[in-house]
A and B are shown apart, each in its own frame.
Chain A
Amino acid sequence: MSKKPGMAQALHKVIMVGSGGVGKSALTLQFMYDEFVVDYEPTKADSYRKKVVLDGEEVQIDILDTAGQEDYAAIRDNYFRSGEGFLCVFSITEDDSFQATQEFREQILRVKNDENIPFLLVGNKSDLQDKRQVSLAEAQSRAQQWGVPYVETSAKTRENVDKVFFDLMRAIAARKAQGNQSEIGERKKKTNCCTVL
């Protein structure tokens, strides 16, 4: 699913997940266009492509910004299936959104059928420390339990915004490099498709 641009430019497919209003779109837009959108407007699904230089190599990143709202859960699977890496975002000012990450993680693992899928836990809105509801330790322990990195970001101040995208791309690139020998995940995916048929 991932080696299409093998000869040309590498293309990494990143998917933003997380509850509604945690700042998935804000992070994406900040990364894409260096803009911070104040108005909240729920996303259904949006997709972006950008050329970036990752460790000296020009690559393309495809970002799919999904809906946080449950209403669109039905089409989520179709997107998840084609993602190569996930940014699982919650807001440090909202505990519910942190609790919801558990469910997103499970859904991704179910669809991808791959424990080692590149994945970052992202605590957004780090500029609002005075409204913090989720402690750093709490988030870190969950990330540790999943075996994934935890990063706090602020879409408003751009803190760590590039970092999360680039870290994830590196993880995806590494995965692709090693994945050429063992394509377990991919094969599993295929069997998955067939049973649906």
Chain B
Amino acid sequence: MDFESPDVEKEFPGLYASDTTKKSESDFSDDGVHDKHSKKDLLGGSKRKDKKDKKDRGYATLEGESSADEEETKSPSKSKSKKPFKFASKSREKREKSREKDSIKEKDHPEKEKKKKDKDVEKEMEKDKKKEKDKIKLKHKDRKKSKHGEEASDIGDEPIFGVSLHLAVERSRCHDGVELPLVVRDCIDYLEEHGMSVEGLYKVPGNKSKVQHLKKLYNQREPVNLSEFEPTVATSLLLYFIKELPEPVLESTELISRFEQAASAKEVAARESQLVELASQQLSECNRVLLAWITLHLDHVTACEKTTKMNAQTIAMTLSPALQMSHRLLLALLFHCKALFPEVRLTKYIPPLPAGSTRLPESPQGIAAELAKQESLLSQIHMLMNAGYVNKSREEQLWEVQRMITQLKRKYKLVQKREDSMQRSVDEEQVPKNNDESQTQSSDSQSINLSNKLSVNTEDENERLKVTETTKETVRRASTETNSYSSSASADKDIDKPLKASKDTTDSRVEVVPNEKPDENDIAPESENAEEPEENSELERLRESLIYEELLNIQASLKARIAQERHEIERLNIALTERMAAGITVKPTSERTCSPSEAEKQL
């Protein structure tokens, strides 16, 4: 963690130059910011305000927590190195202290400026703030602008860093249903893959300017390839993101203290059950997912102690300040993480296929999964465009993703059709046999035929159940979408698709049923004819009428099944729309294929 260590300097020669770069950044970006700022003032309506309110709460909680953290992590050398940037004003230093949990590890200027900026904007809106603060605001006006200039491009106004976790997830979604901001997922994925052999993982900080660069890329939704960077950069970036969150990972001071209390229980079982209850019932979904991924990941780091040289103790020591929890609580969470989050598996994120990919998945399930990703991506693009972030490349992307979806849907239908026709050919084989047998009128073959038919029906049924299964899954996936207006539009689409799928299958069923009908009709008149010339056909007639009845029964029950399934789909749709309307997010039930231990093996 020591920036001044000679090793670090050797490794990252640019480390100490960052001070000057920052200065020059603020200088150059000063211009062209006035208009932006005033625009914000004009338009900075309620949306901004809301955000700020949230932030405020965050700061309030921090104030209580921060002092301890600072004592733990502050090293004199760092506060020294920070000085040149600081203004002499005492009051400001005080504010800074309270605002920044760990100003230490990240001496990064822009961040402070950003926070200041936020504060300032808020002040501009709420004029009843203290005069002293106003003075400060004037002092730092230029800095605030510099921050603006840095992110002046279109999307910079909706950053990923420094906003509430929920917002970060919404703005930078993983399209496979895991409710994590992309940056967190990328870091953990990368570290799971390449970090487990790094000595002092999380202890050694990464190159600050690289971290800053990455932050900027993520804020602007630029594509990022973390593998071009050192694992230390990924750990620092992850911690940086967490520290920038306006609320702690455990949401609130109140909840933190409840967690702390639970962690202090002496009995292991009691501790575990209390923690489980808190984690599963008190934490909101996105915080729960974040906590789960972080603790499971850190647990994995400690499991690789041989190479990482980090055990639970050192991890807890290093990270408890950033995670805003006590050493003991973090240790307890690490100890119990598998019991706390039994359903969570750390899986590598496979982003939606890029535009123009020619290798589409082949299986219906694979296509459906890819389709869901693409639709999630599409809804995000719509959301951004509806928010006014329109540029050429985004429009281009909109068409591309739409094209991808169209291709996938066509392929899905094709695959479906192929399966249907396979089914139908089975049915057709069945039909002529049926006729032959009714002509030979052998009672044995009749019964075989009937059982054959039944087996086809059950096969059929299984097939259909499978489809409804996937249908439900897609609906479920759709329901994990949050309640933003355009993602609800995508959810609509998700509903469309299963409906279609089920329609397809019901269609095929309907065709199966009429296939039986002529069959039955064939049997009936034939037996009538047979009745006149020969008397011994009496028995046959009886048998046939029984079979006929049986078939009718089957037909009726199948029809009832179809109606039932239709009803179920409708019910699910209604429930879904209600949920969307109520803004309730449902626990994502996405499947994770590889467990941490598996990931370990891969290494």
Contacts and interface: CB of A to CB of B under 8 A. Distances in A.
Contact of B398 (A4, A44, A48, A82): A82
A156 interface: no
Interface string B398-434: 1110110110010000000000000000000000000
**What class of interface size applies to chain A in its complex with B?**
20 to 34
Contacts of A13: 399
A64 B392 contact: no
A74 to B, nearest CB: 7
Nearest to A195: B388
Nearest to A42: B496
Interface of B is mostly: helix
Interface in A19-68: 41, 44-49, 62, 64
B486 A74 contact: yes
B489 interface: yes
Interface string A141-164: 000000000000000000000000
Contact of B403 (A4, A48, A82): A48
Nearest to B395: A82
A49 B358 CA distance: 13
A4 B399 contact: no
A172 to B, nearest CB: 15
Q: Which of B43, B398, B405, B406 has the most CB of A within 10 A?
A: B406
Contacts of B406: 46-48
Contacts of B509: none
A46 B407 CA distance: 9
A134 B496 CA distance: 32
Contact of A47 (B381, B399, B486, B492): B399
A62 B395 contact: no
A74 B400 CA distance: 19
A79 B398 contact: yes
A44 B381 CA distance: 16
A45 B486 contact: no
Nearest to A79: B398
Given A44-B493, A47-B406, A64 B385 contact: no
B403 to A, nearest CB: 4
Given A47-B399, A47-B402, A78 B386 contact: yes
Contacts of A71: 492
A176 interface: no
B388 A197 contact: yes
13 contacts: A1-B392, A13-B399, A44-B496, A46-B406, A47-B399, A64-B399, A72-B489, A75-B382, A75-B486, A78-B395, A81-B390, A82-B399, A197-B39
Closest 5 CB pairs of A and B: A47-B402, A82-B395, A196-B388, A46-B406, A47-B403
